[in-house]
Structure 1
Amino acid sequence: MPPRFSLIVLAYQSGGYLERCIEALKALECAPQSGSRFSESGARQTIDFEIILADNGSTDGAPQQVIAKHPDVRFVDNGGNMGFAKGMNQAAGHAKGQWLAFINPDVFVHATWLAQMDAAIEQYPDTRIFTSLQLDPQDQTILDGAGDGMTFFGFPFRMGYRASKPPHIPVSEVFSPCGAAFVIERGLFERLNGFYERFFIYCEDADLGMRARLQGERVLLIPEAKVDHIGSATLGARSDFALYHGYRNRLWMYLKNTPGPVMALTLLPHIGFSLSIALKDVLKGRGTIVGRALREAIFGLGAVWDDRRAIHKKRLLTSFDFLRLLTFSPRLILRRGLDLRSPK
């Protein structure tokens, strides 16, 4: 019988973080939460899952060390660095679970994380994407993130990043999951054609959530499903590599997914904010990277526009309803605040 969950980790030069990540997954408490229909009926005594470790051609030996120590972990050799999006898609193709959990190698799940996600799936049967509450590993009173928001001008942002953790965070609807640790129903992931492989890396989580939203899906933040997240442990938050893919992919995501009427209202703000942050990076001596990213984004628009047509041919959400999902508050945007919506 296939497992209920497939927990998927993609490694690339992940070093010592990887073993800690896998060991946290193996230490998960797998009893259904008290109060769930399974715990009451006794129909399912444990939450069954598999762990899949995929590798994008690491040369640090970390994946091989983990597999030698944990031979029950399924290993997928992607044969080289194909990027996060394609690497995760390829790993997901080997998964057997009904629910797919995508977990970064610098994420360390808390013991009850899977049980909390399992309970949320039972409590909200009309929802098929759930995201985690991310904490600073060194200070559990500091948030690393609480799902992703989307500004009215088309920039995704990690909500609550580096903010003090509020005393109480309810289960909330958020715009999209954060790719560090989230769960999605397998059928929905396949219907969305997985992560967008043209991105290679960066923005793929917000893009997946955006496309799910256009299909009428919602995303719930489960605050008791907690993880510790180091963040940018491999590539660096503002490395040249990150800067290039961030500029390029953000523009592609906006043009590919934004409904036409919404784009008519937000295109000028999107261009204005893009140019303002580009100017800051140019003044910091990184103009060559910015120019290359924007040039590649423009040259790739033909293929991206073809993908847009396919996405919007299947769109179920109205432009007005999409507009309501965006964050308009300047205070929340500037502070990366928590734009949490009550589940309907």
Structure 2
Amino acid sequence: MSQKLAVVILNWNGKNWLEKFLPQVVRFSKNADIYVIDNLSTDDSAAFLETHFPSVGIIRNNKNYGFAGGYNEGLKKINDPYLYYCLLNSDVEVTENWIEPVLQVFEKDPSIAAVQPKILSFDNRKYFEFAGAAGGLIDNLGYPYCRGRVFDDIEEDKGQYDDEAEIFWASGCCLFIRTEDFWEQNGFDERFFAHQEEIDLCWRLINSGKKIFYTGQSEVYHVGGGTLNKQSPQKTFLNIRNNLSMMLKNLPFPKLISTLFLRLCLDGFAAAYFGYKYGLTHFWAVGRAHSSFYLQVPGTWKRRQKHQKKKFYQSEWLIFKHFLGRK
């Protein structure tokens, strides 16, 4: 008989986060097994876990595979059969009743493949957190946003998203997913390394007929930027390259050419904006992202599924409405 839930934390030199947040994960996850996948850390994270958390399973990867590859490699080494994984960032504070409301959502509909809780800011606890907020959506140009967060504008939590709703993508900082659905999609696309791999996975799940949900009855608090902060040019590079690859893989063909062309043009404006706001390294990061995307095109094309949902977005022209219309 399959066991119900494995809470799996990916770690790379995050001993300080494990010290801070793992005790609460253990305390409030009584009916789940807990694992830490270590991406060949150099900060004695594994030794710390062995000494202070003997009940937590430790999985050692032989190199730093990034977020996408790190989870794929590590989860393969969990031999016990689980119905669900919870992929949890090491810089997340969980709350007392964070698991059961999510499992109840799964039990309502077998076509629900992934569920996300409400994600609030650890440092500003009345506000949503950038990476997920109250559930991820996407516009018709492939720009990800969230209920509670549009680009850099973040809402205060006033109970407006205490609902249960179908969304487009669930945040990788706290992603509950059926194990069979995860492996039917061959997990994350490891070429992404980090950033937007969860959006790509959710998009593939939707294309295969599955649903992604959010519940506001479960809350967690996320620090954010624990590995790559917002000002990192590498983060700019990964976000832009991976977003383009994700669209090439998942967009229905009639929209693919026009959408990609417009996005590539808009990235020119983004490069100028990032260069002005964050410096020339971010300007060049956009160019590097495009070059890397072009090099990956043959492999990305091979990963396209046979069927894509024609209506995939929840907002049209979000970037123009937000920056020009100030909505």
TM-score by length of 2: 0.88
Q: Displacement, 1:58?
A: 1.2
Q: Displacement, 1:157?
A: 2.5
Letter in 1 for 2:54: P
What's the Cα RMSD here? 2.1
Match of 2:54 among 71, 87, 91: 71
Task: Supply the distance in 1 between the matched residues of 2:109 and 2:249 (Cα, whole angstroms).
Answer: 30
Letter in 2 for 1:300: Q
Task: Supply the distance in 2 between the matched residues of 1:137 and 1:178 (Cα, whole angstroms).
Answer: 16
| 80-89 vs 59-68, greater mean Cα deviation | 59-68
User: Structure 1 regions of 5+ residues with no counterpart?
Assistant: 31-47, 336-344
Letter in 1 for 2:24: A
Q: Displacement, 1:216?
A: 1.4
1:265-276 residue pairs with structure 2 within 5 A?
265-276=258-269
1:158-177 residue pairs with structure 2 within 5 A?
158-161=146-149, 162-169=154-161, 170-177=163-170
Match of 1:205 among 195, 198, 206: 198
| 63-72 vs 153-162, greater mean Cα deviation | 153-162
Work out whether residues 83 and 179 of structure 2, in 8 Å CA contact, stay in contact via their aligned partners in 1. Answer: yes
Task: Supply the distance in 2 between the matched residues of 1:121 and 1:305 (Cα, whole angstroms).
Answer: 32
1:141-156 residue pairs with structure 2 within 5 A?
141-144=126-129, 145-156=133-144
Identity of aligned residues (%): 24
Aligned length: 310
Q: Where does residue 140 of structure 1 map in the other structure?
A: 125
Q: Displacement, 1:124?
A: 3.4
Specify the SS of the correspondent of 1:172.
Answer: strand
Q: 1:333 to 1:147 in 2, by over 3 A?
A: farther
Task: Supply the distance in 1 between the matched residues of 2:74 and 2:322 (Cα, whole angstroms).
Answer: 36
| 7-16 vs 60-69, greater mean Cα deviation | 60-69
1:1-344 residue pairs with structure 2 within 5 A?
2-28=2-28, 30=30, 48-95=31-78, 96=80, 97-144=82-129, 145-161=133-149, 162-169=154-161, 170-283=163-276, 284-286=279-281, 287-308=283-304, 311=305, 313=306, 315=307, 318-319=309-310, 321-322=311-312, 325-328=313-316, 330=318, 334=322
Task: Supply the distance in 1 between the matched residues of 2:191 and 2:71 (Cα, whole angstroms).
Answer: 13
Q: 1:29 to 1:288 in 2, by over 3 A?
A: closer
Q: Displacement, 1:331?
A: 8.1
CA offset digits 1:163-182 (Å, max 9, x no partner): 11132421011111011101
Letter in 2 for 1:166: K
Q: 1:114 to 1:291 in 2, by over 3 A?
A: same
CA offset digits 1:88-124 (Å, max 9, x no partner): 0112213331101100111111111111112222233
Work out whether residues 102 and 115 of structure 2, in 8 Å CA contact, stay in contact via their aligned partners in 1. Answer: yes
Q: 1:303 to 1:126 in 2, by over 3 A?
A: closer
Specify the SS of the correspondent of 2:28.
Answer: coil
Specify the SS of the correspondent of 1:8.
Answer: strand
Task: Supply the distance in 2 between the matched residues of 1:244 and 1:331 (Cα, whole angstroms).
Answer: 19
Task: Supply the distance in 2 between the matched residues of 1:333 and 1:235 (Cα, whole angstroms).
Answer: 29
Specify the SS of the correspondent of 2:316.
Answer: coil
Work out whether residues 202 and 212 of structure 2, in 8 Å CA contact, stay in contact via their aligned partners in 1. Answer: yes
Specify the SS of the correspondent of 1:223.
Answer: strand
Specify the SS of the correspondent of 2:63.
Answer: coil
Moved over 6 A (4+): none
Work out whether residues 188 and 201 of structure 2, in 8 Å CA contact, stay in contact via their aligned partners in 1. Answer: yes
Task: Supply the distance in 2 between the matched residues of 1:159 and 1:58 (Cα, whole angstroms).
Answer: 34
Q: Displacement, 1:329?
A: 6.0
Q: Displacement, 1:24?
A: 1.8
Specify the SS of the correspondent of 1:166.
Answer: coil
Task: Supply the distance in 2 between the matched residues of 1:16 and 1:333 (Cα, whole angstroms).
Answer: 41
TM-score by length of 1: 0.84
CA offset digits 1:22-73 (Å, max 9, x no partner): 212211165xxxxxxxxxxxxxxxxx32111001111122332123211111
